[in-house]
Amino acid sequence: MDIKRTYSFLSKLKKNNTKEWFDKNRDEYQEIKKEFEQFITALIKEISAFDESVKNVEAKKAIFRINRDIRFSSDKSPYKTNIGASISSGGKNSGKAGYYIHIEPKNTFIAGGVYMPEAPQLVLIREAIDYEGEKLKKIITTKNFKSMFGDMHGETVKTTPKGYKPDHKHIELLKHKSFLAWHKVEDEDAFAKSQVKYAAKVIKEIKPLNDFLNKAMAFEE
């Protein structure tokens, strides 16, 4: 994947976010999309070496459409100014914890976990934290996790979640509404030498978090 060319196209799209401009430059977008699909295909193969659950994921189905859903948005810009893919054994909309690649000038990142799970799944995750919070804490405080992601990311509630006491030893984890590992890729280093190897190295450190979350949500035995 020619990351510089991709950044250049997305930067121009941000300045010319109209159907007319996009139609004139659609051929270039199709070439960039094809390169990105090849990158995701290779990445899935690399991830499968340590997470067999994604080995049958099709890159084409993992990649998000560049068209924005503007039905309920005040911003009527028709196109996203990034390209991205969600790699999960259940597909993009399964609710399972997975891996996410986001390519955008000055905002490229690799992430994983669960973003805003539905209420029943959030209840299950909090129950798992209640019973096995030390296990999650151990996962997100390892040297590799801290080095790659810092703290676990994600929206939190300001008050104590219903059913738990304010002095619960894992109250800060219980307050989370999203459970995310997030790694920013600096533009000057973005997949500079080995795109697939770089991304796979980051993603490998996300797998223990995903395993905990998927087991909690009864997606894994």
Full DSSP string of 143-173:
HHHHHHHSSPB--B-SSPPTTS-TT-TTHHH
- Per-residue pLDDT of 2-26, as tens digits, reads 888 999 999 999 999 999 999 999 9
Q: What structural domains and CATH numbers belong to the chain?
A: 3-216 (3.30.930)
Residue 92 pLDDT: 79
- Among residues 174, 182, 189, 176, which one has the least CA distance to residue 206? 182
Q: Beginning with the edge strand found earlier in the chain, give each strand of the sheet holding 98-103 in spatial order.
A: 83-87, 98-103, 108-114, 179-185
Does the pLDDT value for residue 107 go beyond 50? yes
What pTM was computed for the model? 0.92
- Per-residue pLDDT of 126-169, as tens digits, reads 999 999 999 999 999 999 999 999 999 999 999 999 999 999 99
